[in-house]
Amino acid sequence: MPGEDDENRDEIYKFIRDTIESAIKSGKMPSKVGFSITITGGNLPEEIENPGEESGEDSKNNRNHDSPAKMLSEQKRGFHTEVHKNGDEIIVYAEIPGADNSNTAVSLDGENMIITSLPEETKYQEIVKIPPLKKETLKFRSRNGVLELSAILE
């Protein structure tokens, strides 16, 4: 029926806008460079989860802010990552502006994958929680600022 898709799209946009505005007002908006919303099966997400301690919140969910001078001196930023499981393989996608194979390092430490990239003057670093992997199977490539890492599960 004409117009039904427009109504659904408008409803989804309104829900997303209201959810983001509510998260910003309550101080619970993620402090990363970006985020994604995936809608599958016609179900809309009900809430945005607390970003947790690693995003600068104390035990009472109060946001901690560093001074602009401290933030600029560190020049370290997180970036958007996605982890996918494909059979016995884990694939991690990381969106890192300016990253390529020559300025990016990846290391595995238990259940942590540490991705560090040094394009130009900004340091990007992110720790991604993953299941144990076979280190010798780790492969990565970069294309258009998206790093794709893959490895076989232990």
Mean pLDDT by 10 residues, the chain (154 residues): 70 83 68 52 48 48 48 61 91 88 86 85 85 90 88 90
CATH of the domain at 137: 2.60.40.790
User: Is the CB of residue 126 less than 8 Å from the CB of residue 149?
Assistant: no
Which pLDDT score is estimated for 39? Answer: 52
68 part of a folded domain: no
| Cα–Cα distance list, 116 to 46, 112, 128, 133 (Å) | 33, 13, 11, 18
Cα separation of 57 and 63, whole Å?
5
50 part of a folded domain: yes
85 and 113 assigned to the same domain: yes
Structure tokens at 85: 């499981």
3-state secondary structure of 63: strand
Which pLDDT score is estimated for 137? Answer: 92
Which structural domain, as residue segments, surrounds residue 101?
74-152
User: How many structural domains is the chain composed of?
Assistant: 2
Which pLDDT score is estimated for 37? Answer: 56
Beta strands 123-129; 139-143: pairing state: unpaired
Which pLDDT score is estimated for 30? Answer: 52
Which pLDDT score is estimated for 148? Answer: 92
Which pLDDT score is estimated for 16? Answer: 83
Q: What is the pTM of this model?
A: 0.51
